[in-house]
Amino acid sequence: MSNDYEGVKIGLEIHCQLTALNTKMFCNCSSDYRGNSPNTLLCTVCTGLPGSLPVLNKRALEAAIKIGLALNCKISSNSNFFRKNYFYPDSPKNYQITQYDKAGGIAIANNGHVETNLGGVRITRIQMEEDPGKLQYEGSITTSSNTLIDYNRAGISLVEIVTEPDIVSPKHAREFLNTIQSIVETIGECDSKLDGSMRADANVSISDGRRVEVKNITSFKEVERALNFEITRQKTIQAASKMETRHWDDVRRVTVTLRVKEGEEGYRYFPDPDLPPMVISDDYVDELRKSLPELPEMRLKRFTEEIKLSEEIARIIIRNKIVADYFEETLSYDFNPKLLSGWIATDIMGYLNRNNIEFADLPINAKTLAFLSKSVSDSKVNDSTAKAILLKSLSSGTDIEDLLKSELADSVSSDDLPDIIEKVISDNPKALEDAKNDPPAIHFLIGQVMKATKGRANHSQVKELIENKLK
Amino acid sequence: MADKKIIDAKKYSELSKIELSTQEMEILNEQFPDILEYFDLLSQADTSENIDTQTLSNVFRDDIPADSIADKILDVVPEKKDRFVKGPRMM
Amino acid sequence: MSLLSSKFEEIKEKNKSINAYITFSDLLENNPDGKLSGKTIAIKDTISTAGLRTTCASKMLENYVPPFDAHVVSLVKKQGATILGKANCDEFAMGSSTEHSAFGATHNPHDHERVPGGSSGGSAAAVAGNLADIALGSDTGGSIRCPASFCGIVGLKPTYGLVSRYGLVAYGNSLEQIGPMAKNVYDCALLLECISDYDRRDATCVNGKNINYTESLNDDISGLKIAVPREFFGNGTDPEVEKSVKNTIDKLVSEGAIVEEINIESIKYSLAAYYIIAMSEASSNLARFDGLRYGLHSGKSKDWNELFSNNRKSGFGFEVKRRIMLGTFALSSGYFDEYYIKAQKVRSLITNDFKKIFSKFDAIIGPTMPTLPFKLGEKLTDPLSMYMSDVDTVSANLAGIPSISVPCGYSDKLPIGIQIMSSHFNEKTILNIGNKIEQIRGFDIE
């Protein structure tokens, strides 16, 4: 298959809300806006009333530094806020308080990197900024005669994660986003399950073509589709000739021109005189570093080096904290990592993905899964039987314990085996002779025993017993 | 000094979202070059030495919610619909 | 009718010829407690007062009633002052004559055909014209000191960060401070004492720097070292102004002050640096006025772009438009380094020069304004000549240092003000010297 993604360079700008904070970034309004009636969480600051002034939420700085550390960035010892000046109805001051990387602007963190299954990605910078309000339309954006504005979200704390154009394919982008999700979730600073808590814009270019920004990618599931469309579009016109911003329409599944990209000159960035700079000591950074929980990358290392999982399986498991936690919980009941990791990474995840079910909604709890694996460890059933039980439980919803019980009732106990083997040998006298002379021929006998027990016998036990007969 | 600088009043009126009348644009286009010429005086200043005059830093507030005054804020909004601020069409 | 209300009616009547006030309070509060009890106060209309219209002298906010008090307003209320109303000013504090107001110009009480100075001209005229005991103004490039000088009263611009800006409608937010205006230095010091309480809602406000400013007013000034920069007596300085100021300085020498003439090279760049920075900040600070959340809403329009442009076209006066355009220009790419960045570097230069001077001197003295109050309309056609009148005041804003203007003489009955500056948070010294000048100048203010 030819490489459809040759020359493709993708950079992402991910906006993460700092969902663990109680208040907005620059004012004391509650940040718990979801589900509220419009315009209920407001003050002079987040609505930009004349005479209002911003004051930085200390927890926001803390969260941003932690995210920076978790993405292996260098934390700046001095950092400041800039104004990005542009007019838009969702922006109460018609400027956004953000961070900048030129003209004396210093973002909170720089030069990080993140590993993924499909390759590493460099993090250019992480900057703190405020969310604008929300626009709603009566109908669609083009037909609505009014725009309805809700400022509840205005001023919510955001961290923007900007990557180098190291991403080489839409799949890679998806993988990267999942990794970021897993990291920020692990450190507890962004709950990506909350609607709108993580948004991404993409910058796509092909070889020497110009960079095109794709906005309005509403969910990570849409990312691959949007990027695939844009790449195909650019390849068709043989690389973009001008820098522009395009809007992803997830209904028609196309990107459409929004505007020729506003150069940075349009934004007239300058330092915000209302906010003194931040001086961040090494001690403070160290204190925050120590407070971080085990990051997914560390967990991966532990899974591969200590628990000896394969990297591929391990990466699948660490991708979501909930999955990794589940896995470790199963291990606490029955330490059978190879079996459990295989079931989780392949069978369970496969089933959930195919049926669009969230891991959190998995009806089989860790203890039960471990119970099933224990029955294999204790040689009560063999792996393929156990796997069949698992799959049956997933698809039918029947309890694993019940399935296991009925299985064991039907199963062949080791006590029955010698008799069954005797019978098979007496039915196949020549086979025993063959096996004595030609060891691989034992498999015929084993096969007969398995057939007789309808596959329920423990394979290795059978083999052992027959081998004893050969002596 | 080089030729008098020209500011494109139209461009900046668009950037700052202030519609100007033709007359206003003419007056500004006429006045700007002299003002800019005066500003250009700065180019004579020797600012090669790096001077840091920043005094205040690390001013924060605690992450403790205060009561919202949303209703008071909505009182001054000129056009509303239910609890939304009513804005014009986007396109 | 109580004494206060009859006086109030008188004031409203007198205001018709001076136009110092835009809005009068509905209800007068007479509070027996507090340092300002019994004192009437006018508040510049760029300072937010809850429930009382705050227009910033602009059509844009003609009907805007803030839902909150500025920090300084809650403080003066707490200290028992009676707020009479909102004082006229140049629109959004942009001007030096209070002629750029959507509510008409204010007239100088000493000569109704002349300007009161600006942008806090209404505040100064109210005090000078006996329409208020004291007043609050704001000073971005001289807007308290200039009208104080032109109206023959005392006006003080505090150190940047001493007084909370929470509630002050921002114009040049790295430059401005709210400050006291009064007939004498004592009342000025008292008002400063009341408004300089720390406010955590302003991140640029510095904690722990305010003191009792009335305490050391009468300290002896002998031995104080005072610098007089030659640059403050530049070409455009009226000989009468120069004479009056220099006479006053001589009197200070008789009182034991040690005076020395110096040069501050960087001052000649201060005006250009000030305007670039102020206009740049203004272009951003005034972007919020689009009519959606408050202020002038001009009705239907084809889309948001048109609505914003229309509202701002109708809401802003020409001077404001001019400054926003220039500020937008100075911040835009291609010009940002040459103008904004350069201006900030010059600012650091000036700040540093002042720092060096204050390591050797206790204060700097010069005229507040280069000229006597000019006639209404005189400088309106040439914006640059209007900007030039700030030449002696802007450097204090750039450096963030405190500065006071005290009446030191008259020429043809027109007031002349002398300006005293000192190092950061050294209001004590400038009040002390100002107080001494009041004692030795040889005349009283009625």
Number of CB pairs < 8 Å for A and B? 115
Give the C-alpha separation, C167 to C173, whole Å: 12
Using one digit for the tens of pLDDT, what is the confidence trace for C371-385?
999 999 999 989 999
Whether the predicted pLDDT of C1 surpasses 60? no
A417 or C1, which is more confident: A417
**Residue A422: strand, helix, or coil:** helix
Are C343 and B9 a contacting pair at CB < 8 A? no
Are C47 and A51 a contacting pair at CB < 8 A? yes
**Can you give the three-state secondary structure of chain C, one letter per residue?**
CCHHHHHHHHHHHHHHHHCCEEEECCCCCCCCCCCCCCCEEEEECCECECCECCCCCCHHHCCCCCCCCCHHHHHHHHCCCEEEEEECCCHHHCCCCCCCCCCCCCCECCECCECCCCCCHHHHHHHHCCCCCEEEEEECCCCCHHHHHHHCCEEEECCCCCCCCCCECCCCCCCCEEEEEECCHHHHHHHHHHHCCCCCCCCCCCCCCCCCCCCCCCCCCCCCEEEEEHHHHCCCCCHHHHHHHHHHHHHHHHCCCEEEEECCHHHHHHHHHHHHHHHHHHHHHHHHCCCCCCCCCCCCCCCHHHHHHHHHHHHCCHHHHHHHHHHHHHHCCCCCHHHHHHHHHHHHHHHHHHHHHHCCCCEEEEECCCCCCCECCCCCCCHHHHHHCCCCCHHHHHHCCCEEEEEEEEECCEEEEEEEECCCCCHHHHHHHHHHHHHHCCCCCC
φ, ψ of residue C374 to 5 degrees: the values are -90, 170
Confidence (pLDDT) at A215: 87
**Residue A406: strand, helix, or coil:** helix
Whether the predicted pLDDT of A455 surpasses 70? yes
Distance of CA C276 to the CA centre of its chain: 19
**Residue A412: strand, helix, or coil:** coil
Confidence (pLDDT) at A416: 78
* A263 Cβ under 8 Å from any chain C Cβ: yes
Confidence (pLDDT) at C444: 82
Report chain A's mean pLDDT, rounded to a whole number: 90
Give the C-alpha separation, A426 to A441, whole Å: 16
Measured CA to CA in angstroms, residue A451 lies from A157, A420, A468 at distances of: 65, 11, 20
Confidence (pLDDT) at A218: 74
φ, ψ of residue C405 to 5 degrees: the values are -115, 130
Model confidence at C333, in pLDDT bands (50, 70, 90)? confident
Which of the 8 DSSP states describes residue A379? T
Neighbouring residues of C420: CB distance < 8 A, sequence distance ≥ 6? C363, C364, C365, C403, C404, C406, C430, C433, C434, C437
Helix (H) / strand (E) element for A96: namely strand A95-98
Which residues of chain B neighbour C339 with C-beta distances below 8 Å? 39, 42
Burial-class residue C443 by CB neighbours within 10 Å (0-12, 13-18, 19+).
exposed
Q: Of the ranges A155-159, A426-430, C19-23, C207-211, which one carries the lowest mean pLDDT score?
A: A426-430
Which of the 8 DSSP states describes residue A165? S
Set out the domains of chain A in order of their start, with CATH numbers. 8-288 (no CATH), 294-410 (no CATH), 417-470 (1.10.10.410)
Using one digit for the tens of pLDDT, what is the confidence trace for C103-161?
999 999 999 999 999 999 999 999 999 999 999 999 999 999 999 999 999 999 999 99
Which of the 8 DSSP states describes residue B12? H
Confidence (pLDDT) at B2: 47
Give the C-alpha separation, C89 to C120, whole Å: 5
φ, ψ of residue C66 to 5 degrees: the values are -65, 145
Which residues of chain B neighbour A23 with C-beta distances below 8 Å? 63-66
Dihedral sign for Cα atoms in the order C295, C296, C302, C308 = negative
Neighbouring residues of A407: CB distance < 8 A, sequence distance ≥ 6? A381, A385, A389, A456
Neighbouring residues of C417: CB distance < 8 A, sequence distance ≥ 6? C145, C148, C149, C150, C152, C367, C368, C369, C405, C406, C407, C408
Give the C-alpha separation, C24 to C3, whole Å: 17
> Which two structure tokens, joined as six digits, stand for C272?
């250009």
**Residue A203: strand, helix, or coil:** strand
Q: Of the ranges A95-99, A310-314, A377-381, C7-11, which one carries the lowest mean pLDDT score?
A: A377-381
* A120 Cβ under 8 Å from any chain B Cβ: no
Share of chain A above pLDDT 90, in %: 59
Give the C-alpha separation, A167 to C60, whole Å: 49
Using one digit for the tens of pLDDT, what is the confidence trace for A201-232?
999 999 888 888 898 787 887 889 999 999 99
Strand intervals (E) in A109-187: 109-114, 121-130, 134-137, 147-150, 157-163
Name residue, tokens 């009056």. C244
Using one digit for the tens of pLDDT, what is the confidence trace for A409-452?
766 666 778 888 888 888 888 888 888 888 888 888 888 888 88
Share of chain A above pLDDT 70, in %: 96
* A47 Cβ under 8 Å from any chain C Cβ: yes
Q: Does this model's pTM top 0.95? A: no
Tell me whether strands C40-44 and C82-87 are parallel, antiparallel or unpaired.
parallel
Residue type, B41: L
φ, ψ of residue A442 to 5 degrees: the values are -60, -25
Top residue of B26, B31, B34, B42 to mutate, by most chain C CBs within 10 Å, is: B42
Q: What mean pLDDT is predicted for residues A35-41?
A: 96
Neighbouring residues of A335: CB distance < 8 A, sequence distance ≥ 6? none
Chain B, window 67-86: residues with a beta carbon less than 8 angstroms from a chain C beta carbon:
69, 72-73, 75-79, 85
Q: Which of A25, A94, A42 is nearest to A33 (CA)?
A: A42
Whether the predicted pLDDT of A261 surpasses 70? no
Using one digit for the tens of pLDDT, what is the confidence trace for A138-149?
877 777 888 999
Report chain C's mean pLDDT, rounded to a whole number: 96
Please, are residues A360 and A320 in contact by the beta-carbon 8 Å criterion?
no
Segments of chain B scoring below 50 in pLDDT: 1-2
Q: What mean pLDDT is predicted for residues A113-119?
A: 90
Please tell me the distance in Å from A356's CA to the nearest CA on chain B. 35
Measured CA to CA in angstroms, residue C362 lies from A77, C72, C357, C417, C439 at distances of: 36, 29, 9, 20, 20
Number of neighbouring beta carbons within 10 Å of residue C200? 15
Measured CA to CA in angstroms, residue A7 lies from A166, B47, C255 at distances of: 11, 45, 82
Name residue, tokens 């009068």. C24
What is the residue extent of each domain of chain C?
3-266+351-440
Q: Which residues of C are catalytic, by number? A: 44, 119, 143
Which residues of chain A neighbour B60 with C-beta distances below 8 Å? 55-58, 61
Please, are residues B13 and C325 in contact by the beta-carbon 8 Å criterion?
yes
Using one digit for the tens of pLDDT, what is the confidence trace for C335-353?
999 999 999 999 999 999 9
Whether the predicted pLDDT of C388 surpasses 70? yes
Report the residue of chain C nearest A93, measured CA to CA. Answer: C288
Give the C-alpha separation, A187 to C134, whole Å: 56
Number of neighbouring beta carbons within 10 Å of residue C330? 27
Chain B, window 18-47: residues with a beta carbon less than 8 angstroms from a chain A beta carbon:
none
Q: Which of A256, C289, C94, A174 is nearest to B18 (CA)?
A: C289
Q: Which of C125, A435, C338 is nearest to B42 (CA)?
A: C338
> Which two structure tokens, joined as six digits, stand for A369?
């899964």
Distance of CA C254 to the CA centre of its chain: 31
Domain C3-266+351-440 class? alpha beta
Using one digit for the tens of pLDDT, what is the confidence trace for C37-71?
999 999 999 999 999 999 999 999 999 999 999 99
Please, are residues B15 and C328 in contact by the beta-carbon 8 Å criterion?
yes
What is the residue extent of each domain of chain B?
9-44
Neighbour subunits, A (≥3 Cβ pairs < 8 A) = B, C
Whether the predicted pLDDT of A110 surpasses 70? yes
Neighbouring residues of A291: CB distance < 8 A, sequence distance ≥ 6? A66
